[in-house]
Amino acid sequence: MKKWIKKIDEFFFEKNPFILVLLEILLFISSIVYLICVICKYYI
């Protein structure tokens, strides 16, 4: 099962490296939003 998932991962990342970039950007944005929320909670 894990080998199968790994093969799918390899396929996706080899064929579509932009998916990886997209995921990174999404993570980055969500972390920024989280940070802003935390800061707002502390200042309110």
Tell me the pLDDT tens digit for each residue of 20-33: 788 889 999 999 99
Note the pLDDT of residue 43: 82
* pLDDT score of 12 more than 80: no
* pLDDT band at residue 42 using 50, 70 and 90 as cut-offs: confident
Q: Kindly calculate the radius of gyration of the chain based on its CA atoms and give it in whole angstroms.
A: 17
Closest-CA residue to 33 (of 23, 44, 25): 25
Supply 6's token pair: 């790994």
User: Model's pTM, two decimal places?
Assistant: 0.51
Q: For tokens 């199968």, name the residue.
A: 4
